[in-house]
Structure 1
Amino acid sequence: MTESNNEDKAGPGIANYPQLSDLIFNNTSNNSFNKVLGELKRSTLSIPNRLRSIKQDANFVSEVASAYGLPLVANERCGSWYIHPEQKKQSAYFKSTDGHMAQWSFSLRRLNLQVLETIGRSDGCIIVDSTRRGKSMPDALSKTIPIWTTVMNRILFPDHPDSHEVTTPPTVVGASEHTQIAARIAGFVESLKTLELDIPSIRQKITKPLRPIWVTPTSSLPESPPNFPSFHPVVLLTASSRISGSESTSETGYVQGAADDAEAWAQGLTAPLFWKHSETLSNTPEDMIEEVIAELVKKGDGNQGSQLTPIGPGKRVAIGTIDAAETDAGAKDIVITVASKENEVLRSKMETEYLHLTLVDGKVGSRQLRHSLPNLIAWVKAQLSATSASRIVVADTNGKDQGVGIALAILCLFVTDDGNIRSSEEVKDPPNGLNKQTIKQKLSWISVAKPDANPSRTTLQSVNAYLLG
């Protein structure tokens, strides 16, 4: 009787079906479900899966190098992971952000002129990069580098108008975006002209205009290296296979763009360390991988550069790491280091010709730099008055950021356009007669000589604030 009454209230047979409350997860169930999904994603994006995926992609990169017979250039920082060190001929620094929608740009800080040398020597090159999140190729390859090749063609080959139109991959860049990019090229060319680079010298590095060719894991490769008589091919190689959907991993554990954002997952492992110990890492159980990486990072790769990089036509300023300054700075140099601690070796070696600037890494130290520059510049003036220094050496922990900012200030204040050091009487504090164009030109000296120099926006803001007052 009870069952019959229930049926009468709910309708025939309804009592046997799930109710609405049964179908909706409560908060506890939702939290458990999300936790399981998070753990699953972390396991598929594990370090062993990433390293296996990188080696798989690196094998494809080697195939492309053989098919085209061209040298491999890594677009840093990601590209170096996909190239065995024995095959890597050069580094490039093209930012994907310069190819983002409505942000298309030509970087005056990253001219990548060193790539032209590689192209000229080998009649072309292959630039390697990758991307994640289901994209078929990174914006650096689809837009940033095509912008660069077009600007270089217009500057270096004004009598080859057929090479002056920007080329982008139509399957990636739509017609509207392509048109908007093309409209900006002339402005980029004019901006580059303001740096007053030695164009004839650059032109000697290559003999033909540049043209991009895009290759992905879905591309058909030539059976033998092709010949391109009318242009230097710049093969833009996307190393990783595309995974459909929004995730970066496949069911097999393959990770698209596995090397991307290495700071977030690699535990301090670098591309050189990875290749040096790839067999060890491949044979390490997953539950021990972080411990093994920590030990490798602690030992280091023992491959740090030991030379400083001279800047400008007169080579009177040099930049680099503090380690390089220890071995390369000479008796006639004056040395400035910037780090959290003073270097005892340089203090003993250089005596009064040494100044240490105590700044922490990152934005905080870069902001402090603005307030430290007046005293630093005054010290340099005093040194140049009291000694016949042959060089001004500036070094920091990685040779790329705060030390580069200090070197830029010194170049603007103490070094003439032809590379000679001004007398201390000519240098005014606060500075006068400087403008943004002068700063850009001296910064281009640094980017040409040391392409991996990468002063942060905060560092450059501090330098500009001091110089422009």
Structure 2
Amino acid sequence: MDVDFELFSDRKKFEHDARNQIRKHSLDPYNRLHSIAEDIEFVQDVHEKYYSSYPLLANLRCGTWYCDSRKAGGITSHFKSSDGHYNGWSFNLRRPNLHILAHIQAAGGICIVDSTRSGKRMPDSLSKTVPIWCTVINRVLKFRGLANSGGWDIQLYTPPQSVSKQEHAQIESKLLSWVEALATSSYNLPQLDRSLRPIWVTPASTVFPSFDKNTNFLPVICISASRSLEEGTERRRQGYSYVQGAGDDHENWSDGLIPDVFWRCKDELLNATEADFPDVLKCIVGEARSTIHASDWAKLPTPIARVKGLLSIAAMKDLPDSVFDTRIAEEMPVPCIVIRGYPEASASIPVQHVNPTPIYDLVLQGDKKAMERAFKSSLPQCLRFIGQYIGEGRRVCIACETGKDLSVGIALAALQAFFDDNGQLNLERYDSKELKVTKESLRTRLHWIISSRPEANPSRATLKKINEFFMSPLRSGST
């Protein structure tokens, strides 16, 4: 059989060019933000028409583009898709989302917004992670006697269009171990008057069920914001290419724009012409960066309730300018440890010593491994700083870039060093040879942190360094 290689080559080139064009459209901020705006209309329409009495929460991270978290008082949920991936199902005690239970009880239900890229109708976070969460919570509440005895439902519910019967059964077989893990943890769960049940809504939905105070369960409405497309993009008459799940992985396309700034400047961004858009976006991002420390605390640090707020955690972007002003550092009402990372050494970086100012500027320099080593070796100085000020009855704030990782690690070390298993301050613990540190004691103190600051999400590397620190001679030999 004769083959027309020239025709075959032309076809392959056409397909290659088409894929490149789709990829270009999918990464363009103009297309992404207009796609997000289209999905926002769907989310707001569904919420206002059917579920306006329920709080509307964004699921980190993608959901924050589709839901203005300011209207929910900054409250978000953190149901990771990876906890619902096939054969990777999990109820993760580092992301228990217990902080939203009180809001569900108070309102009689809740709406959670997320999205996903092409190939799926809804993200695994909504189709599997949330259902696992609802079932585990229901069973633990019943086990602890916190469930209303009448008609309490402990069944697992998953959307049949996204989860096969086989996968459903596999998830169900693992529930007991997750229930036991939460039931034996140090987390406190509130009492609910009804069991939780997930309900799913997508742009393909034709029926939107309604609920009232007589419904025999508390609805957890899972709203998947984006339309499902095979190719992932679709050209719109309005002059942009629609991108499914446009808010996902924003570091790859947003040019520095973050959801909070998008919601503040949404109209200005969406009203810009395609030609002017790059300049408008650059200007907005630049202004946001330059004014982020223009006032006092942008967001107050999170106190760890179990230790009566003696330790608190913050993100660097929320710190006031005065933290870095050496002229008034001695007057800082809250002593701070500020953790900053720089890929390369720089002589211009100001480094404050532990004394006499109540600011300990911990600068980590070098590549990733060098920063990890420097973090571990700096723990004795950090703990000495913390011990000094909490010993004086002062509260200490610990801040890192995100307020989720390194700051949480140092807070965890301080909780282990200076507070007993009941959260009582005991400064002599750290120097005591009888101080017993186990993975369980560290896990318990991590639960204290997450209970107060749900967004806390320390990396495995950070947790490993804390564990190694307490198990090595460095602890006693450097203080």
1:68 aligns with 2:72: no
> How far did 1:35 drift?
4.4
Q: 1:41 to 1:124 in 2, by over 3 A?
A: same
**Residue 49 (str. 1) matches residue 43 (str. 2):** no
Specify which of 67, 80, 86 is matched with residue 64 of structure 2. 80
The answer to whether the 8 A contact 1:366-1:402 is kept is no
2:304 counterpart residue number:
311
Question: Offset at 1:104?
Answer: 0.5
Alpha-carbon shift at residue 331 of structure 1 (Å):
6.3
User: 2:389, 2:396 within 8 Å by CA — same for their partners in 1?
Assistant: no
Partner of 1:10: none
1:218: how far off?
A: 1.5
Q: Specify whether residues 411 and 335 from structure 1 end up closer, same or farther in structure 2 by C-alpha distance, changes over 3 A only.
A: same
Query: Residue 259 in 1 paired to residue 264 in 2?
Result: no
Kindly indicate whether the alpha-carbon contact (under 8 Å) linking 1:129 and 1:237 is maintained by their aligned counterparts in 2.
yes
* 1:4 corresponding residue in structure 2: none
Question: Which residue is equivalent to 1:359?
Answer: 364
Partner of 2:183: 193
1:15-414 equivalent positions in 2, closer than 5 A: 20-25=4-9, 34-35=16-17, 37-43=19-25, 45-66=27-48, 67-69=50-52, 70-85=54-69, 87-88=71-72, 90-158=75-143, 160=149, 162-199=152-189, 202-203=190-191, 206-222=192-208, 226-243=212-229, 245=230, 247-252=231-236, 253-300=241-288, 305-313=298-306, 314-322=308-316, 324=318, 326=320, 333-340=334-341, 351-360=356-365, 363-364=368-369, 365-381=371-387, 383=388, 388-414=392-418
Distance 2:469 2:409 in 1: 11
- Give yes or no for contact 1:431–1:468 (8 Å, CA) kept in 2: no
Classify 1:232/1:363 alpha carbon distance in 2 versus 1 (closer, same or farther; 3 Å).
farther
CA RMSD of aligned residues (A): 3.1
**Counterpart mapping for 1:430-449 below 5 A:** 432-449=435-452
Any conservation in 1 of the 2:200–2:221 contact (CA below 8 Å)? yes
Flag the 1:468–1:163 CA change in 2: closer, same or farther, 3 A.
farther
Q: How far off is 1:180 after superposition? A: 1.0
Q: How far is the alpha carbon of 1:466 from its aligned partner?
A: 1.4
Q: Distance in 1 between matches of 2:234 and 2:434?
A: 58
Structure 1 residue matching 2:458: 3-state secondary structure: coil
Quote the offset at 1:260 in angstroms: 0.9
Shift of 1:132: 0.6
Q: Is the 8 A contact 1:334 1:389 kept in 2?
A: no
CA 72–366 in structure 1, closer or farther in 2 if over 3 Å, else same:
farther
Larger radius of gyration: 1
**Structure 2 counterpart SS, 1:395:** strand
Task: Quickly say closer, same or farther: Cα 1:404–1:44, change in 2 above 3 A.
Answer: closer
CA contact (8 A) 1:240 1:256 kept: yes
1:45 is displaced (CA, Å) by: 4.5
Normalised by the length of structure 2, the TM-score is 0.83
- Partner of 2:278, secondary structure, is helix
Does the 8 Å contact 1:106/1:188 carry over to 2? yes
Name the CA distance, whole Å, in 2 between partners of 1:371 and 1:145. Answer: 39
SS at 1:211 equivalent:
strand
Listed as ranges, the gaps of 5+ residues in structure 2 are: 324-328, 343-347, 473-479
C-alpha displacement of 1:63: 1.6
Looking at structure 2, the residues matched to 350 and 54 of structure 1 have their Cα atoms a distance apart, in angstroms, of: 49
Structure 1: unaligned runs, 5 residues or longer = 1-13
Provide closer, same or farther for how the CA distance between residues 175 and 417 of structure 1 changes in structure 2, counting only shifts above 3 A: same
Amino acid at match of 1:297: V
Number of equivalent positions:
441
Q: Report if aligned partners of 1:65, 1:71 keep a CA contact under 8 Å in 2.
A: no
- Give TM-score scaled by structure 1 length: 0.84
Deviation track 1:92-131 (CA, whole Å, cap 9, x = no partner) reads 0110000001110011111111211211121100000000
Give CA-to-partner distance per residue, 1:9-44, whole Å, 9 cap, x none: xxxxx9xxx864433428xx9668634641353135
